[in-house]
């Protein structure tokens, strides 16, 4: 008898099978013990996602179900791709499971198992991305022809292994060395270019040792592997590569389409790297007549911009999800970018502070001529004076309002000088003045709140309860300031 557990599992994976119409009439009996061939056709059916039972078993990592489906099913059945273009074999390889038993099971039991994945990828592409050595080895053993298959971007599995820097590069090269010479469709980048641009020294050494002839290949801009290595490798790795590989060292004076040598690239990104510059020509000039020494001393914005764009370029079809090259931390370009962003942030901060200071000055100036309680309109020496000028609360209002206006105008004055080029050149002075302006503005805000409380109390004194309530609400501002400052100090 067929295991009820098996049937339960199948129904869990594909509940839509309950709604399928039986192909046989009610009078026909099913001899379960004689095999599952007629009924197996049902399990080859797909659900609304175009998934077969095997798709679902692989997706949910149910190896025991995969085993049953592949061992008792039709070995010649061609499992096609579902709606996302993934076959069961591709799914198993792409998941990167530590246990590669599902891939092995499908390869050994399903002789006609399809290997396709989305965008022209195969199961070997997926295994190379997932960095599964045993899976890659098994797929090569069964379907060696997949090594040279390119996806829609012209990437072989070796391209993916080199780009993501995993440990299956050597396995792929042993399967077919010719893939090291294939350039992609977008930039004609070889796996060696990708490994260098992403800073994967181990993958670079593996490719060079197996395919030394590919070191001279260039991409569509004329960049060789050393152009990319100058960007992707850390200082110690770069020194090691130049010392140990005479082939790579021989490329140091090779120019790209714009006349830039690898040393031009290094000077634009890491002018302080302590490599042996005697290996190359420091006086070499590009098409713009700019030498390596010129770039070290003065910089070269055109080349820096080109490199910055490469670090962000993901290609026409997002084939370079991490950029064409890896822009290392601490590069000259990155430092300049940070300085630019810092300057922009400081400019926005100054603008917002100036708006606040100007608003306080405007409000307090107007309040000084609209006294609470009004003016004395009776003719005599006191005509035009404030009615409440003898009231202590009114006096407090006048004093604090004057303080608020004076402080806010002082802040505006400081911001006026912060906009001058002379002060902007001095970063320390600019930061100090900005800090002083911020403190002054904060004190002016406090004085303005006190002026409001005092003025309100002066006119509401006859209604003591209302006056006290208004004062209490106003003082909530200082409580809020205290809480915010305490939170800021704690975070530091």
Token pair, residue 164, equals 């993501």
As a whole number of angstroms, the distance between CA 251 and CA 112 comes to 47
Q: What are phi and psi of 143, to 5 degrees?
A: -135, 70
pLDDT at 12: 58
Predicted local confidence at residue 146, as pLDDT: 92
**Mean pLDDT, each 10-residue run in order, the chain (492 residues):** 51 50 39 46 63 75 74 55 72 72 76 77 90 85 90 95 88 94 95 95 94 94 95 90 91 95 91 78 92 87 88 88 81 51 63 87 84 70 71 88 91 83 67 85 92 86 84 88 82 58
- Using DSSP, state whether 91 is helix, strand or coil: helix
Phi then psi for residue 74, to 5 deg, are: -80, 115
The dihedrals phi and psi of 2, each to the nearest 5 degrees, come to -75, 135
CATH classification code of 150-328: 1.25.40.20
> What is the Cβ-side half-sphere exposure of residue 211, based on CA atoms within 13 angstroms?
24
- The two domains 1-143 and 150-328 share their CATH topology (first three levels equal): yes
What pLDDT does residue 365 have?
87
d(CA 99, CA 132): 9
Task: Classify domain 1-143 at the CATH topology level.
Answer: 1.25.40
Q: What pTM does this model have?
A: 0.60
Give the model's pLDDT for residue 10.
Answer: 56
What's residue 215's pLDDT? 93
- Cα angle at 284 between 283 and 289, to 5 degrees? 100
- What is the residue extent of each domain of the chain? 1-143, 150-328, 333-491
Neighbours of 458 (CB within 10 A): 23
Q: CA angle at residue 311 from 308 to 312, to 5 degrees?
A: 95
Per-residue pLDDT, 333: 57
Bin 97: left if φ > 0, else alpha if -120 < ψ < 50, else beta: beta
Res 470: pLDDT: 85
The two tokens of residue 143 are 């379907």
């Amino acid at each position: 008898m067929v295991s009820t557990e098996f049937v339960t599992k199948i129904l869990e994976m594909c509940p839509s099978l309950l709604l399928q119409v039986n192909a046989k009439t009610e009078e026909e009996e099913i001899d379960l013990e004689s095999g599952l061939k007629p009924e197996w056709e049902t399990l080859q059916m797909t659900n609304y996602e175009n998934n077969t039972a095997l798709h679902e078993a692989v997706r949910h990592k149910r190896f025991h179900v995969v085993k049953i489906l592949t061992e008792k099913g039709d070995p010649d059945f061609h499992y096609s791709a579902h709606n996302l273009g993934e076959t069961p074999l591709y799914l198993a390889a792409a998941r990167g499971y530590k246990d590669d038993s599902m891939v092995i099971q499908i390869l050994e039991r399903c002789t006609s198992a399809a290997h396709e994945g989305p965008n022209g990828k195969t199961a070997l592409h997926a295994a190379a991305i997932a960095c599964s050595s045993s899976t890659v080895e098994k797929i090569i053993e069964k379907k060696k022809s997949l090594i040279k298959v390119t996806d829609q971007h012209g990437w072989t599995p070796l391209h993916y292994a080199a780009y993501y820097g995993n440990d299956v590069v050597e396995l792929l090269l042993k399967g077919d060395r010719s893939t090291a010479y294939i350039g992609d469709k977008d930039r004609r980048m070889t796996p060696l270019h990708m490994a260098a641009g992403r800073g994967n020294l181990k993958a670079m050494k593996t490719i060079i040792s197996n395919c030394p002839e590919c070191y001279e290949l260039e991409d569509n801009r004329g960049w060789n592997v050393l152009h990319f290595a100058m960007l992707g490798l850390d200082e110690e790795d770069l020194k090691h590569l130049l010392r140990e590989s005479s082939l790579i060292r021989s490329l140091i004076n090779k120019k790209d389409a714009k006349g830039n040598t690898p040393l031009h690239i290094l000077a634009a990104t890491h002018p302080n790297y302590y490599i042996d510059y005697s290996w190359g020509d420091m006086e070499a000039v590009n098409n713009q007549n700019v030498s390596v020494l010129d770039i070290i001393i003065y910089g070269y914005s055109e080349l820096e911009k080109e490199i910055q764009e490469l670090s962000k370029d993901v290609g026409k079809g997002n084939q370079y999800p991490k950029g064409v090259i890896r822009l290392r931390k601490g590069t000259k370009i990155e430092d300049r970018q940070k300085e630019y962003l810092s300057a922009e942030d400081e400019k926005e901060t100054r603008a917002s502070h100036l708006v606040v200071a100007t608003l306080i000055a405007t409000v307090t100036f107007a309040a000084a001529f609209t006294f609470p309680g009004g003016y004395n309109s009776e003719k005599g020496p006191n005509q035009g004076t404030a009615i409440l000028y003898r009231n202590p609360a009114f006096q407090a209002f006048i004093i604090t309002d004057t303080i608020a206006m004076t402080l806010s105008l002082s802040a505006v004055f400081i911001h006026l000088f912060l906009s001058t080029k002379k002060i902007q050149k001095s970063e320390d002075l600019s930061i100090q003045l900005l800090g002083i302006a911020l403190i002054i503005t904060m004190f002016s805000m406090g004085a303005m709140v006190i002026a409001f409380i005092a003025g309100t109390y002066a006119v509401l004194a006859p209604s003591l309860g209302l006056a006290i309530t208004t004062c209490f609400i106003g003082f909530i501002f200082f409580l809020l300031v205290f809480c915010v400052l305490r939170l800021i100090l704690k975070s530091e």
